[in-house]
């Protein structure tokens, strides 16, 4: 191993990983059923749900790539505009979707579609969730392993497998309680790591904060609002952030089991609503902090240029480079632990929610005989481990698929917007179009996905609009098919009469 960081920092990283695993095992004791494993007995406090929501969506993509957005040559704070849509979208999710999820005691959000349309809708959407969730989270695992490789000099595959195994370990034994309580700890760890990084950047600049602020003003790094009306502009605008971000958040936080499972573990709908609404404002503040770190890195490397100058293709690696080469002993280990915390909070949630969907939406309903509580718990754990292995395999191939010269954050959010947009449209049909039946709804879903695919491939539409286009296309296609089938039915009745 070509060790890059100091042994003290390496020890901090491994002690942190060991504590995460041990804590997960301790929290997960006493589980007796899949309700305990997947939903924590529906007994967690709202503030733990809040921190888990934020930590889950704050992956390594956020920690490493968002600073890169502001660091880039023409980078600034305009990316923060998408959080305006995040806040509005959460309000709509709380008003429209949360009441549906607290009717009865569902395990997944896709049970709502079965109640409204039929079992086929539940299985199709659950299967789509499993595919897209594991693809996007494998990218997050890859990016985290890349940062770890740069820090300690291990082979990339060793970092991928090591992180994957540790995450599988505490998720396998601890279930959702382990995931949520580890999320709370990891939230604190990565926020301390981010604050420590910014403090070091400012302290190393000759004139401190005043120099950073002056640099940002001169270079336009703090530009926030852009009211350009174009739909194909390659940077965030107010409208793409507000409208596109609103639809994207309604999809990710309203129809994605990864997030919906957080609401279902809360003690009450009121607690889930409070956690969801507050999370939007916390994410906005986090994005602002990470963008400010990116501006600080741009200023720092302007004053102290590295041996090899960074290009925009390197922007996702700038923060990890600074951590390894410029933080003091101890802070390097802390910040690397923060990077790992951001990744593992998302990955563990992904494994548990994927297992929840597979077991409850597909496996158990297709079994001819019921399983005992112990058998269900055992199968739930096996499913969690299985998805961990799947993500490790995908992560090992992700370099060939995406490369490090592309924005990882854009790749991940494109996947989310592309897949969840049509699914959101299906939920719109379920809620706002009571006359539409399952056949028309599923055909609308297929048509909406096709339309979005054509637009994504054949046009230069900016990615934040994907969820909006996919959901609207699905909704109106579903209405059209419903009208068409009703016309045929009426015509057949006339012929019979």
Q: Is residue 400 assigned to a domain? A: yes
- Sort 277 into a burial class: Cβ within 10 Å, 0-12 / 13-18 / 19+: middle
Q: Is residue 425 assigned to a domain? A: no
Buried b (16+ CB within 10 A) or exposed e, 239-255: bbbbbbbbbbbbbbbbb
pLDDT value for 489: 59
Is residue 71 within 8 A of residue 81, CB to CB? The reply is no
Indicate the SS3 state at residue 266: strand
pLDDT tens digit string along 78-135?
A: 999 999 999 999 999 999 999 999 988 888 999 999 999 999 999 988 988 898 888 8
User: Is the pLDDT assigned to residue 296 strictly greater than 90?
Assistant: yes
Task: Specify the number of domains making up the chain.
Answer: 1
Q: Read out DSSP for 40-107? A: GGG-B-HHHHHHHHHHHH--HIIIIIHHHHHHSTT--SGGGGHHHHHHHHHHHHHHHTHHHHTSS--S
pLDDT value for 113: 92
CA separation, residue 40 to residues 32, 170, 294 (Å): 11, 15, 38
Q: Read out DSSP for 150-166? A: HHH---HHHHHHHHHHH
d(C-alpha 464, C-alpha 89), whole Å: 13
Q: Is residue 43 assigned to a domain? A: yes
pLDDT tens digit string along 439-486?
A: 999 999 999 989 988 888 788 888 889 899 999 999 999 999 998 877
Buried b (16+ CB within 10 A) or exposed e, 14-36: eebbeebbebbeebbeebeebbb
Q: Is residue 478 assigned to a domain? A: no
User: Is the pLDDT assigned to residue 317 strictly greater than 50?
Assistant: yes
pLDDT more than 90, % of the chain: 40
pLDDT band at 176 (very low <50, low <70, confident <90, very high): confident
Q: Print the domain residue range for 305.
A: 7-409
User: Is the pLDDT assigned to residue 412 strictly greater than 60?
Assistant: no
CATH number at 175 reads 1.20.1730.10
Looking at per-residue pLDDT, the higher value among 43 and 418 belongs to 43
Looking at per-residue pLDDT, the higher value among 379 and 143 belongs to 379
Q: Is residue 423 assigned to a domain? A: no
Q: Is residue 481 assigned to a domain? A: no
Q: Is residue 355 assigned to a domain? A: yes
């Amino acid at each position: 191993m070509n060790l890059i960081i100091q042994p003290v920092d390496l020890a901090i990283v491994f002690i942190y990983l060991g504590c995460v695993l041990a804590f997960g095992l301790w929290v997960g004791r006493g589980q007796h059923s899949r309700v305990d494993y997947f939903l924590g007995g529906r007994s967690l406090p709202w503030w733990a749900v809040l921190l888990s929501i934020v930590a889950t969506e704050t992956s390594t993509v956020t920690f490493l790539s968002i600073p890169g957005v502001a660091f880039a040559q023409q980078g600034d704070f305009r990316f923060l505009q998408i959080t305006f849509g995040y806040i509005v979208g959460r309000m709509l999710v709380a008003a429209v979707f949360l009441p549906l999820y607290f009717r009865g005691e569902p395990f997944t959000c896709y049970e709502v579609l079965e109640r409204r349309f039929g079992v086929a809708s539940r299985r199709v959407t659950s299967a789509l969730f499993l595919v897209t969730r594991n693809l996007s989270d494998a990218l997050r695992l890859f990016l985290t392993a890349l940062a770890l490789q740069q820090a300690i000099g291990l082979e990339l595959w060793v970092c991928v497998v090591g992180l994957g195994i540790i995450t599988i370990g505490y998720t396998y034994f601890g279930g959702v309680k382990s995931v949520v309580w580890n999320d709370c700890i990891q939230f604190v760890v990565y926020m301390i790591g981010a604050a420590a990084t910014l403090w070091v950047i400012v302290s190393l600049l000759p004139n401190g904060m005043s120099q950073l602020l002056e640099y940002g003003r001169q270079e336009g790094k703090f530009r926030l609002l852009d009211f350009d009306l174009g739909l194909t502009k390659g940077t965030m605008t107010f409208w793409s952030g507000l409208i596109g971000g609103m639809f994207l958040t309604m999809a990710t936080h309203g129809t994605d089991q990864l997030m919906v499972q957080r609401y279902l573990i809360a003690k009450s709908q009121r607690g889930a609503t409070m956690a969801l609404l507050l999370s939007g404002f916390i994410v906005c503040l986090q994005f602002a902090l990470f963008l400010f770190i990116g501006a600080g890195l741009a200023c720092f490397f302007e004053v102290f240029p590295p041996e090899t100058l960074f290009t925009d293709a390197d922007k996702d690696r700038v923060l990890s480079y600074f951590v390894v080469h410029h933080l003091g002993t101890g802070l390097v280990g802390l910040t690397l632990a923060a990077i790992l915390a951001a990744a593992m909070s998302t990955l563990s949630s992904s494994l548990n929610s994927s297992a929840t969907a597979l077991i409850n939406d597909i496996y158990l309903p297709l079994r001819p005989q019921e399983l005992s509580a112990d058998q269900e718990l055992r199968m739930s754990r096996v499913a969690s481990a299985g998805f961990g292995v799947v993500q490790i395999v995908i992560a090992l191939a992700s370099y060939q698929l995406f490369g490090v010269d592309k924005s990882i954050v854009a790749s991940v959010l494109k996947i989310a917007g592309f897949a969840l947009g049509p699914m959101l449209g299906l939920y719109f049909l379920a809620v706002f179009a009571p006359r539409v039946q399952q056949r028309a709804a599923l055909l609308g879903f297929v048509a909406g996905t096709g339309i979005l695919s054509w637009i994504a491939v054949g046009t230069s539409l900016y990615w934040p609009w994907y969820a909006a286009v996919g959901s609207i296309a699905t909704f109106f296609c579903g209405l059209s098919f419903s009208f068409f089938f009703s016309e045929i039915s009426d015509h057949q009745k006339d012929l019979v009469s």
